[in-house]
Amino acid sequence: MKPETIDLDALETAARQLDPDARERARLMKAVFAYADRYLESLPDQPAYFDRPDNGRALRETPIPEEGIGLDAALELLRQHVDTVGINPTSGRFLGYIPGGGLFHAALGDFLAAVTNRYAGVFFAGPGAVRIENLLIRWMARLAGYPETAAGYLAAGGSLANLTAIVTARDDRGLEGDAIARAVVYFTEHVHHSVNKALRLAGLRRLARRRIPVDTRYRMDAAALERAIEADRRAGLAPWMVIASAGTTNTGSVDPLDTIGQIAAAHGLWYHIDAAYGGFFALCEDGAALLRGMNRSDSLVMDPHKTLFLPYGTGALLVRDGQKLHAAHAAEADYLQDTYADGGDETELSPADLSPELTKHFRGLRLWLPLQVVGLAPFRAALAEKLLLARYFHERMRSVDGFEVGPAPDLSVVIYRYVPPRGDADAFNERLAEALRRDGRIFVSSTRLNGQFWLRMAAVGFRTHREDIDTAIEVLERTARRLAAL
């Protein structure tokens, strides 16, 4: 026997550890499911924030081993240093930022997508996966009121989706060279920070940015927008894009989408709406009324990992004229010639031709499976519940001594703060936020509005119900009183 044959046999024996047999798979699955089950069953008793000063530092001292430590030991590392550190976004009392979900049905979809490893970038390679993702895009487009010409893709999140929209608008309007310095984009100070980042990444640093004033409810002042556009035209500049927010991160406010759309159309601007947080509230009656005008946009971002409660890493971009998205992102390569020769299905565009991604995880399965298994009704109910919970929290906090609240919520974010009888309110609320993190029972985040320090309550998680809001109010009141007494 040749030496290389012996080497191959030994290598094959070692490599086969990567392909466990049925018995080993059953053992592994049992351990993983038991871990997940314990985690989910313990959630009601878990804090919303784990105050761990070490922040899982021991993981830095855990080397990647030559010989494995086994699943049980690896799961214990997760338990000790990942799942009990920092914020707990799966808790019903996690009320900070715009929380994600962790929907169990979606986790099953992720598991199946990972096991089958279907490729969702090119139709030739994964026609079923691409059909599912395109079906989801068409469903979202109908929800937004877009025509049949629309196209889009499932992105890794709203930041990448915003960048893709800006690149599409840049290329469609031929924005390059000296034209960049004359072009103008319009948005409010509450636009998501990913927009400014996207403008920079898209090579538009020299672009003029106009921050349009907001009204008392933190919504864009449409009249001020029109005045700014007209002033820029008179100054010889070239208004290019207006970006509206359908649910700002700061306050949950929804800009006057319909009116802004009319202004954008009248002046020939590309109209982009960041509805990453708020877009799916169109599934319920109150939300649909508030979001009227989404259909006027040229591009739209919606994040299923926010208000469809999916795991992080699930955003979506829609473009009214799908050919513009295709023109900005399609590319060819010799090593992909087989995918072109197949011919495919002209009704099914490949996500790789509509996005920056070529290698693309089948992330659509984490959305398609829950929608097929439980249907839309539970999602509609959960979203309507979140709108009511925000109104409930706002009304309750108005009557809690010492607290002031911001405007009535458009969606499910409420801003509020404690005003002590003496001393600096900003410093007090910073201490209050810190005390709440140390307590851990609830997690709230903070922001600054007009230079003032405010706290935020975001009711977005599908596990957040009235009892969680009641707990939050109780913890807020008692903690504030304790600090005030000091």
Specify whether 160 is located in the same domain as 280.
yes
Predicted TM-score of the model (pTM)? 0.95
Report yes or no: 136 and 366 within 8 Å, Cβ to Cβ: no
End-of-domain residue from the set 309, 340, 374: 374
- Does residue 345 lie in a domain region? yes
Specify whether 363 is located in the same domain as 396.
no
Specify whether 152 is located in the same domain as 250.
yes
State the total domains in the chain: 2
- Does residue 90 lie in a domain region? no
Return the structure tokens found at 106.
């979606």
| H helix or E strand, kind and range, residue 319 | strand 315-319
Specify whether 370 is located in the same domain as 381.
no
| H helix or E strand, kind and range, residue 380 | helix 377-398
Report yes or no: 294 and 144 within 8 Å, Cβ to Cβ: yes
Write out the chain's pLDDT in tens, 486 residues.
Answer: 565 667 898 999 999 999 999 999 999 999 999 999 999 999 999 999 999 999 999 999 899 999 999 999 999 999 999 999 999 999 999 999 987 678 999 999 999 999 999 999 999 999 999 999 999 999 999 999 999 999 999 999 999 999 999 999 999 999 999 999 999 999 999 999 999 999 999 999 999 999 999 999 999 999 999 999 999 999 999 999 999 999 999 999 999 999 999 999 999 999 999 999 999 999 999 999 999 999 999 999 999 999 999 999 999 999 999 999 999 999 988 888 887 766 567 789 999 999 999 999 999 999 999 999 999 999 999 999 999 999 999 999 999 999 999 999 999 999 999 999 999 999 999 999 999 999 999 999 999 999 999 999 999 999 999 999 999 999 999 999 999 998
Return the structure tokens found at 318.
């829609």
| H helix or E strand, kind and range, residue 83 | none
For 124, the 3-state DSSP assignment is: coil
Specify whether 364 is located in the same domain as 418.
no
End-of-domain residue from the set 374, 392, 409: 374
Q: For residue range 243-293, what is the model confidence (pLDDT) as tens digits?
A: 999 999 999 999 999 999 999 999 999 999 999 999 999 999 999 999 999
| H helix or E strand, kind and range, residue 44 | none
Report yes or no: 244 and 274 within 8 Å, Cβ to Cβ: yes
Specify whether 390 is located in the same domain as 444.
yes
Dump strand ranges (E) for 411-468.
413-418, 445-449, 452-458
Helices marked H in 268-364 — which ranges? 285-290, 304-307, 322-329, 337-341
Specify whether 116 is located in the same domain as 226.
yes
Specify whether 120 is located in the same domain as 193.
yes
Specify whether 246 is located in the same domain as 122.
yes
- Please name the residue that has the structure tokens 């020299």: 206
Give the CATH number for residue 437. 3.90.1150.170
Which residues form the domain of 318?
111-374
Specify whether 322 is located in the same domain as 402.
no
- Does residue 163 lie in a domain region? yes
Report yes or no: 244 and 220 within 8 Å, Cβ to Cβ: yes
Q: What number of other Cβ atoms are within 10 A of residue 68's Cβ?
A: 10
Q: For residue range 284-341, what is the model confidence (pLDDT) as tens digits?
A: 999 999 999 999 999 999 999 999 999 999 999 999 999 999 999 999 888 888 877 6
- Does residue 401 lie in a domain region? yes
End-of-domain residue from the set 374, 402, 425: 374
Distance CA 249, CA 9 (A): 57
Report yes or no: 155 and 315 within 8 Å, Cβ to Cβ: yes
Report yes or no: 111 and 472 within 8 Å, Cβ to Cβ: no
Specify whether 214 is located in the same domain as 360.
yes
- Does residue 266 lie in a domain region? yes
- Does residue 208 lie in a domain region? yes
Specify whether 352 is located in the same domain as 441.
no
- Does residue 22 lie in a domain region? no
- Partner residues linked to 246 by β-bridges: 254
Report yes or no: 300 and 398 within 8 Å, Cβ to Cβ: no
